[in-house]
Every structure is written in C-alpha cells, then in structure tokens.
Amino acid sequence: MRIVVLDGFTLNPGDLSWMGLEELGECTIYDRTAAEDTVQRADGAEIVLTNKTALPSDVIERLTKLQYIGVLATGYNIVDVEAARELCLPVTNVPTYGTDSVAQMVFAHLLNLTQNVAHHARTVSDGRWCRSPDFCYWDTPLVELRGLTMGIVGFGRIGQATARLASAFGMKVIAYDITAPAKIPQGCEMVKLDDVFRLADVISLHCPLTPQTENLISEQQLATMKRTAFLINTSRGSLIDEQALADALNNATIAGAGLDVLTIEPPDEQNPLLKAKNCHITPHIAWATRAARERLLNVAIDNVAAFLAGRPENVVNGVLP
C-alpha cells in the first residue's frame, strides 16, 4: 500500500516521528507540495494525506489508484468531499486533538490585550524602565478579568473549554450556539446571538465556517458591541468581515482584537487588519503545541490503520465499507 503525505512539515517539522505511518505501507513524505505538483506526487498512491494542499475534484479524478484521503486537521474544506464520495473514497479528519491548546491561545491573546504584555516587555528591553523616574509605568489601561463577561459564539468542545478557563478567571460566561449542548456547564448561560454581542466584554469565536457563519462579524454586529470590548478569533478567518473589523478598530468602535486566523493564509500584504489599531495577529498557531500535534499525528495514523482494517473512523463524507 503506497502512502503519500503531501505537506507534512507544518504538522511535523522534525520533532515528531512518522514511524507509525511508515509501518503501514510504503511511505513518501513531502514537506510541501505546490498545486501544480499534486497529481504527479500523488499518482499511484492508494492513500493520500494532506493538511492544506488542496484536493479539488479534477485532481481526485486523475488519481486512479486512490482509495483513501486523510486530512491532517479538523477542517476539511481543502478536499472536494462530494467528488470523493461519488468515487466511493472515504475522507477522514482529526476532530478533537487541539481543544485545550486552542482554548489556551484564546487567553494568550486576551491576557495580551488586557495587560499589553508584549508592548511593556519590549519597552523594558529598550531600556525605558532603567530611565523611568517612577518605580513602574504603563501605557494602556490594565484590565482585570474577574467580573467581566465572556461571550462565546459556538459552544462545542473548544467553546466549552474556553468557558471553563473564563470561569477560573472569575468571568461570567454567556454563550450562543445554533444547537444548545445537552448539558450546559455550570455557571454558563445560553443566550441569543445578539445578546452575546451586546452584553459581552470579550467575544471568542468557536463556530465552524458555513454559508450561514461567513462574515458573521459584520459592521452591524461590531456596532452593537461595547466600545471597551475585545474580539478573539481562533476558529476561521472568514467568520469576520476583515475590512469592517479594521474600521471598527481604527474608529475605536471596539477596544481591540486578538486573531490567530485570517481569511487568506498567508495573508495578502494589503490585508487591512495587519495595520489596524490594537489588532494582534498570530500565524494560525493555536493548534500547534507539540502535545496537540502529537495527538493529531497519532489519530491520523490510527485513521489510516482503521481504514486498512476495513473499519474507517472519523469519516466526514459518509463513505463506509
């Protein structure tokens, strides 16, 4: 069985082992694959694994020996799952590996916004504290989280993990989800979406990207938020109308934003958020702790092993034996 990994570097830049996958078949691992090279590299493979290298219908149809597609991530929009289904090719993902790491990144951004840690540390490195006439200084308001309201949009695993951290900081938690969980965590209140935007001091996005959620954060929604509110997005960049958010930040409609995702990644240099006021952007790394990547790799290998055993797991397009 020939296995090809099209873009393994992001998942495993060298600190993890591919041994478990290599034990399952003849394995070729590429760090990165350009779109024009995908067919040539995957040709002849029965199993193809991809992270962000796209597999559209025209590519899938040309891979005549292909039997299985594994996505090395939770989101699988880079694969034409309908085309794969028509060809009876199962597509799998890795749904739960990064819950705690992503929730942790929410608070990395939030604590930076409320304490401006990076800025103040940089001024100390620049020698400003050494020259200060006072024993301390701060350039922005320092905000205590206890007593503030955390609003969570999308209340699945990651949303609920974020809620638990917010509660530990003494925050009140309100949440919205199109489908309320069967059991609402203690101390959390489910509210209408409009109430999240109106009442929250911090809004954290954790919903999937669908036609209904694309540009969910619009000029209209931003206008209903508190001027002191912060927006955090560790989910999908296209949940936000980026020009609307840049305008809201530059006009002080809201106080700040912490983003780990953008609509186009890597971003275009003209993306308005890159220079927006009090907008802090990290390069889609919430998922990338070593612990989370190791879990991802292990589940991806288990997915391949399950397919080879005739009992595929984590299938996202309904193709089963």
Q: Identify whether residues 19 and 70 lie together within a single domain.
A: yes
Number of domains in the chain: 2
* Residue 181 in this model has a pLDDT that exceeds 90: no
Q: Identify whether residues 87 and 104 lie together within a single domain.
A: no
Q: Nearest-CA neighbor of 150 among 115, 187, 97?
A: 187
Structure tokens at 52: 């962000």
**Which one of 214, 265, 290, 311 is the catalytic residue?**
265
109 catalytic? Reply is no
pLDDT, residue 75, reads 87
Q: Nearest-CA neighbor of 179 among 134, 212, 203, 141?
A: 212
Q: Identify whether residues 274 and 253 lie together within a single domain.
A: yes
**Mean pLDDT of all residues belonging to the chain:** 96
Considering the domain boundaries, does residue 315 fall inside one? no
pLDDT, residue 186, reads 87
* Residues of the domain holding 260: 99-281
State the CATH number of the domain containing residue 202.
3.40.50.720
pLDDT, residue 106, reads 98
**Which one of 236, 280, 293, 295 is the catalytic residue?**
236
Band the pLDDT of 314: cuts 50, 70, 90: very high
Band the pLDDT of 76: cuts 50, 70, 90: very high
Q: Identify whether residues 232 and 163 lie together within a single domain.
A: yes
Considering the domain boundaries, does residue 261 fall inside one? yes
pTM given for the model: 0.92
**Which strands sit side by side in the sheet containing 2-5, from one edge to the other?**
26-29, 2-5, 47-50, 68-71, 91-92
pLDDT, residue 180, reads 82
Determine the length of the chain: 321
Q: Identify whether residues 230 and 244 lie together within a single domain.
A: yes
Dihedral of alpha carbons 43, 36, 18, 267, sign: negative
Q: What does the pLDDT average to over 100-129?
A: 97
**Which one of 219, 284, 294, 313 is the catalytic residue?**
284
Q: Identify whether residues 12 and 32 lie together within a single domain.
A: yes
pLDDT, residue 245, reads 98
Q: Identify whether residues 86 and 168 lie together within a single domain.
A: no
26 catalytic? Reply is no
Q: What does the pLDDT average to over 163-171?
A: 97
Which residues, in sequence order, are bridge partners of residue 256? 230
236 catalytic? Reply is yes
pLDDT, residue 24, reads 98
pLDDT digits (tens, 9 = 90+) for 115-141: 999 999 999 999 999 999 999 999 999
